[in-house]
Structure 1
């Protein structure tokens, strides 16, 4: 096809005619919104663990109050692209009442200009958090729509696969079972923070030691600290976990805004132990801070929170130029299509959303239909060979549309 022909094909793409934002409760993209007895809500260390009344359950302080955001974009030919992330009703309002003006009548091929307008129009009240979740949801829906209009998987539009399959580590309470299921490593939630003192530290090390004994020396073990530690505690935990249990990495140990603390932790960590963070960071500017200040060995953006695929491209390119590994936070197909195209993303995260977790189940169920799951810790690239992100929205779930942009 000639250059002029390609330009004309892009110009002739159907335009976005309708923007709809829904919220839904229970699991899925808001994976913390689980029932009683789920491992993900069982005495996990958080910044709120300093308060005894909020220590046992993360839901007690409201980790699940938002629910899932579903963004649906319908083109004027009836084709629908969609995406799910977190944000719930507040994000619905932002999408319907603010961001929709940059979408209706536009071609999804204009994703760069649309992203720029969404970000800078909300900068005075946004930049991170729920606003970036909303922007991310819209951006992912744009890529899904564009892929469906072009009849291409998103990963083809991102340059194609650089390997034949994805390999995964598992996040959950049972790394020993994850090893039996074929995963390359297991990431545990840290259960006890600084407020629980030396006794809590000993319990953390004891759990890790038990898992090391069950998994053997050749299996990766990691600790997810979920922003719960201070520099002193994180440093002591890092050294003990490395020396006594061979910990592979310590993740998101400090507040995401404490770049200086992360830089100090990376310098103080034992050689060989990786410092990782970025799950709750957003945009190229936030990740530039992490990398320029040498805060970590691996960045972990969540494509549903950091700005979507359009922004993740920029983050990943900067990481590649700095020689920094990027392993996105678990976000199902939305990260799979990206990781398969990147040499500096050699493996991916899989969140074990079974309550046990004693079996592999779809990560964003019940909201996504056709979601691939690892078999023996792997997903073949060919399993992503469906248009867009390759999944469909489950129309049987209780979607609520609290606002309208009409």
Structure 2
């Protein structure tokens, strides 16, 4: 089957929600005294926005084929990532066949390796790669999960991330992951408050509902180990991203010293098969959590998942809505998925990337059938203004 060649690549930015889900209004639970690496500074402790977590905004990548078909995807990166897409990456797509996905990824990654490898550059590559998968699905008239080999289950099962696991249980989720609110700089009082919050939630949800802590890279090894052992009394299922993503040695030791039966998870801020190879070969965790919009896109997530599968490690992607749903439904080593509760009070189910995407599916009673519409099955909301800061 011959596909129309790629005519043009465009990169846009947008502010307020979307893929940059931290870019929320005042009073949202996602910005309420959550432990971070910056919590050691009192002036940046109350709000993550205070130290700039939302400065980049959302990146939207469009890839248009010669027949007018447009694939698109969203991730974070904002204007700096848009510059990289327009001024550097576009050359590896325009005039090429859209099914040359592996070659295009390889050229994007290795041409930027001298200033990229992780972070912002790989976010940009991820956005382009996901838009390419969306385009291919639309050109073939198939959902992306068909292109990935087809579903291995009828529906997805979800746990919820948010400030109210007790409400998540009432909404049908299998577990609730809470933000850790106090880090090492807040001393023993902060530790006590963390455990008290866990104990309160355990009383509310009962014994069988999963409870987890999302530590967002905020702890040191000693604190994380102590927290894990104190939390074990209340049946904490896992401790997530406790340390800096570069501290492979710390994760190795945390996993070795965690209470028996408690899982150590990480990888949200890791990128590419090489980064995850370190986590896996050093036995750093029980679950890896790549974000398909940050780790290198769908093309790279396939490779990362294969490495994990060979080692018996689960792959539970971080957030990323439809972009991860299409992947999770096709993999046995991804038995459930994450849903980010983006309602300000974490009290109802709303689309993760609102208001940017239309037809974005959400779980009902904690479950979801992945749509069979072509590509990723979503469209851009025409009422959300996009800005194209650069052209080529």
- 1:364 corresponds to 2:346: no
1:396 — aligned with what?
383
Correspondence list, 1:73-92, <5 A = 73-92=63-82
For residues 49 and 41 of structure 1, the distance between their equivalents in structure 2, rounded to whole angstroms, comes to: 13
Deviation at 1:108, TM superposition (A): 1.2
Query: Of residues 245, 258, 271 in structure 2, which corresponds to 1:269?
Result: 258
Match of 2:229 among 233, 239, 252: 239
Matching of residue 161 in structure 1 with residue 151 in structure 2: yes
Matching residue within 48, 52, 56 for 1:62: 52
What is the Cα deviation at residue 394 of structure 1? 1.1
**CA separation in 2, counterparts of 1:228 and 1:395?**
38
Shift of 1:160: 0.4
- Alpha-carbon distance in structure 2 between the residues aligned to 1:15 and 1:181: 45
Deviation, 1:256, is 0.0
Among 107, 114, 118, the alignment partner of 1:128 is 118
Runs of 5+ consecutive residues of structure 2 not aligned to the other structure: none
- Name whichever of 389-398 and 371-380 sits farther off: 389-398
1:48 deviation in Å?
A: 0.1
Q: Show CA shifts across 1:9-46 (max 9, x none).
A: 1xx20111011000000011000000000000000000
1:144-159 pair list within 5 angstroms? 144-159=134-149
1:316 maps to which residue?
305
Q: 1:41-56 counterparts in 2 under 5 A?
A: 41-56=31-46
User: Which secondary structure does the structure 2 equivalent of 1:36 belong to?
Assistant: coil
SS of residue in 2 equivalent to 1:354: coil
Pairwise CA distance, 1:175:
0.2
Which of 212, 218, 222 lines up with 1:222 in the alignment?
Answer: 212
Distance 1:163 1:54 in 2: 44
- Helix, strand or coil for the counterpart of 2:100? helix
Q: Could you say what secondary structure the match of 1:23 adopts?
A: strand
Q: How many matched pairs?
A: 392
Q: Distance in 2 between matches of 1:105 and 1:152?
A: 23
Q: Does 1:279 align with 2:251?
A: no
> 5+ residue gaps in structure 1?
1-8
C-alpha distance after superposition, 1:359-395 (max 9, x if no partner): 10001111110000000000014xx100000000112
Residue aligning to 1:36: 26
SS in 1 for 2:145: helix
User: The residue matched to 2:231 in structure 1 has which SS?
Assistant: helix
How big is each residue's C-alpha offset from its partner over 1:148-198, in whole Å with a ceiling of 9 and x where there is no partner? Answer: 000000000000000000000000000000000000000000000000000
Name the Cα RMSD after superposition: 0.4
- In structure 2, C-alpha distance between the alignment counterparts of 1:393 and 1:17, rounded to whole Å: 20
Using the TM superposition, give the Cα deviation of residue 54 of structure 1 relative to its aligned residue in structure 2, in angstroms: 0.2
Q: Distance in 2 between matches of 1:352 and 1:103?
A: 35
The equivalent residue for 1:338 is: 327
Q: Deviations over 1:129-161 (max 9, x none)?
A: 000000000000000000000000000000000
User: Which residue of 2 is the match for residue 4 of structure 1?
Assistant: none
- Within 2, Cα distance between the matches of 1:108 and 1:30? 27
CA distance in 2, matches of 1:32, 1:259: 26
What residue is the counterpart of 2:196 in the other structure? 206
Deviations 1:185-235 (A, max 9, x none): 000000000000000000000000000000000100000000000000000
Runs of 4+ deviating beyond 2 Å: none
CA distance in 1, matches of 2:15, 2:122: 20
Once residues 200 and 68 of structure 1 are traced to their aligned partners in structure 2, the CA distance between those partners, rounded to angstroms, is 33
